[in-house]
Amino acid sequence: MTNKNHELLSRYKIQMEEMFRLECISSLLDWDHQVNLPVKGTQARGEQLELMSRLTHQRQTSKELQAIIKDLYEGLDELEHDDRINIQESKLQMDKSLKLPEDFIARRSRARSAAYAAWVEARKADDFSIAKEQLRANISIAREEAELLGYEETPYDALLDNFEPGSRLSIIKQPLFMLAEGIKQKLPAILAATEPAHPFGSTFDISKQRSLNEQISHDLGYDFRAGRMDIAPHPFMTTLGAHDKRITTRYDESDYLSSLLTAMHEVGHATYEQGLPPEHAGTPRGSAISLSIHESQSRLWENIVGRSRPFAEYLYNLLPDYFPEEAAKASPEHIWQRLNSVKPSLIRVEADEVTYSLHIVIRTILEEEIINHGLGVDDLPARWNELYKEYLDLEVPDDAHGILQDVHWYGVGLGYFPTYALGNLYSAIMMEKIRDSVQDLDQKIVRGEFQEILLWLRANVHQIGMSLRGPELAREISGNDLSEIPFLNYIAGKFDL
């Protein structure tokens, strides 16, 4: 490496480290907001977050950093692997951000705030018309953003790339569509094979739930010396430092399994973050690939492991120490049934593992139609309801159970939804390979020996940071392009179809 590159790289790293610190500080402000903040502290916390995000933005868009990245990118071939990954990815991010003028960013931010506020109102009143104009404005902003960012194939790709770098509709559409068809085809048999399970237990002391979740999280490989588990109304995982990846969960005294699955979901996100190479923290080489790969980790642990028969047996064996009365009445089979109730429903966040992806496919179809084919908000509810009839055979009774149920289009943007279903696909692709490489996997799960699963994920997913993009990772792991087949096979295997 030339001396000049050496000096540029060291300046690049100092800047990236400082931005990472600022982001971690913002994350702490947010974590504390959701976990601890006294009610009267809300306004000041908002002002503190606003200040931090201004300071971070100043650095992200500094001319100095831009010049460093540009200079290093010109000599990309001379850089070593890790540095090349960093500069390549930073250059892409910088180019994207330079395409969005400050005025546009401000307008987008205002449009989203307005749409979010309108959505809150509309949802309360169960009346889409209250938020319609704000959604129309948001969609118009999203179309403008796609044009500003540019695309090779279709405008929607530009938005998808915000959440799923390197992906395009042409890569994900076919697998998602085949996934939906496969699920629709299997659903009648699954519904016939599963019976509604009796409730599991009646009351679960919350401090006992916490202790049991801590033990299970520890068994799964979550490192409590580099994290914590707290309570928040909306569970999440957050990064407060290279060795500080915290999770939150929530508890319902009448439903232990729901708190367990929530914890396992967040543990999945957190073990990914704990497995990223800490020496690259704050740079792309030390960052997660994308939302869908993140979601693959949470769903692998929550669904593929957490809802499996051997896991139900592992859990059953732990119960007597925590809930002796409930344990005496339970059986592994009963727990498994409770974890695997399947029933088409109208609300995405309450959907079971099988029908969940149908909700996502519906939203992806709508997003494509909105951005690429001009579907307007006036026609949106009818189209929404039509698709729920087609895919889930359900009538949507009102806006709250339909078009108003999710915040994303109002407060986050379009292009996010597909990542949830892609997470399912990636998780099944990974688990197929884990099953190939770990001997006696099911017996190990029964005994609470999850280390080999985690080690496989560490080596094949976590350690690589952003060295690969999502679609490349699928090929690297499976030898094939992103595919729905592993997931459909997994579902078929689970329900003996």
Are 339 and 262 spatial neighbours (Cβ–Cβ below 8 Å)? no
Are 172 and 360 spatial neighbours (Cβ–Cβ below 8 Å)? no
Q: Using the structure block, give the residue that is written with the tokens 């999203």.
A: 142
Binding to a second copy in span 409-468, by CB under 8 A? none
Token pair in block for residue 428: 């099944």
Q: Using the structure block, give the residue that is written with the tokens 């688990």.
A: 431
Binding to a second copy in span 75-104, by CB under 8 A? none
Does position 38 interact with a second copy (CB under 8 A)? The reply is yes
Q: Which is nearer to a second copy, 25 or 197 (CB)?
A: 25
Binding to a second copy in span 217-236, by CB under 8 A? 223-228
Q: Which stretch binds a second copy (CB under 8 A): 34-42, 107-115, 136-144, 433-441?
A: 34-42
Measured from the CB of residue 49, what is the shortest distance to a second copy in angstroms?
9
Q: Which is nearer to a second copy, 62 or 480 (CB)?
A: 62
Q: Using the structure block, give the residue that is written with the tokens 């030339």.
A: 2
Q: Which stretch binds a second copy (CB under 8 A): 16-24, 249-257, 337-345, 460-468?
A: 16-24
Q: Which is nearer to a second copy, 11 or 136 (CB)?
A: 11
Are 471 and 166 spatial neighbours (Cβ–Cβ below 8 Å)? yes
Instruction: Quote helix, strand, coil % in the chain, to nearest 5.
Output: 70, 5, 25
Of 13, 18, 53, 100, the residue at the interface with a second copy (CB under 8 A) is 18
Of 3, 39, 63, 195, the residue at the interface with a second copy (CB under 8 A) is 39
Are 208 and 322 spatial neighbours (Cβ–Cβ below 8 Å)? yes
Q: Which stretch binds a second copy (CB under 8 A): 25-33, 71-79, 145-153, 338-346?
A: 25-33
Binding to a second copy in span 191-220, by CB under 8 A? none
Which string of DSSP letters, residue by residue, matches 86-122?
A: HHHHHHHHHHHHHHS-HHHHHHHHHHHHHHHHHHHHH
Measured from the CB of residue 325, what is the shortest distance to a second copy in angstroms?
23
Q: Which is nearer to a second copy, 37 or 114 (CB)?
A: 37
Kindly tell me the burial class for residue 399, based on how many C-beta atoms sit within 10 Å of its own C-beta (0-12, 13-18, 19 or more).
Answer: buried
Q: Give the interface size with a second copy as a residue count (CB under 8 A).
A: 35
Residues 6+ apart with CB under 8 A from 247: 217, 222, 227, 228, 229, 230, 235, 236, 237, 238, 263, 266, 267, 269, 270
CA 355: distance to chain centroid? 17
Using alpha carbons, select from 444, 442, 432, 493 the residue that is nearest to residue 309: 442
Measured from the CB of residue 31, what is the shortest distance to a second copy in angstroms?
8
Of 36, 62, 140, 463, the residue at the interface with a second copy (CB under 8 A) is 36
The DSSP bridge pattern shows strands 229-231 and 237-241 to be: unpaired
Q: Enumerate the active-site residues.
A: 266
CA distances from 426 to 156, 205, 206, 339, 432 (A): 21, 36, 33, 21, 10
Return the H-helix or E-strand segment holding 184.
helix 169-193
Measured from the CB of residue 231, what is the shortest distance to a second copy in angstroms?
13
Q: Which stretch binds a second copy (CB under 8 A): 70-78, 242-250, 320-328, 342-350?
A: 242-250
Of 11, 21, 184, 433, the residue at the interface with a second copy (CB under 8 A) is 21
Q: Using the structure block, give the residue that is written with the tokens 């500069």.
A: 87
Rounded Cα gap, residues 259 and 209, in angstroms: 8
Binding to a second copy in span 40-59, by CB under 8 A? 40-41, 43-45, 47-48, 51-52, 55
Of 135, 137, 242, 396, the residue at the interface with a second copy (CB under 8 A) is 242
Measured from the CB of residue 221, what is the shortest distance to a second copy in angstroms?
15
Measured from the CB of residue 41, what is the shortest distance to a second copy in angstroms?
4
Q: What is the dihedral of CA 65, 69, 71, 77, to 10 degrees?
A: 160
Measured from the CB of residue 207, what is the shortest distance to a second copy in angstroms?
9
Q: For residue 304, give the DSSP letter.
A: I
Of 83, 145, 164, 244, the residue at the interface with a second copy (CB under 8 A) is 244
Q: Which is nearer to a second copy, 225 or 234 (CB)?
A: 225
Measured from the CB of residue 17, what is the shortest distance to a second copy in angstroms?
8
Residues 6+ apart with CB under 8 A from 235: 247, 248, 249, 250, 262, 263, 265, 266
Binding to a second copy in span 468-497, by CB under 8 A? none
Measured from the CB of residue 281, what is the shortest distance to a second copy in angstroms?
8
Using alpha carbons, select from 358, 315, 361 the residue that is nearest to residue 339: 315
Q: Which is nearer to a second copy, 244 or 302 (CB)?
A: 244
Sites of contact with a second copy (CB under 8 A): 17-18, 21-22, 24-25, 28-29, 32, 36-41, 43-45, 47-48, 51-52, 55, 223-228, 240-244, 246
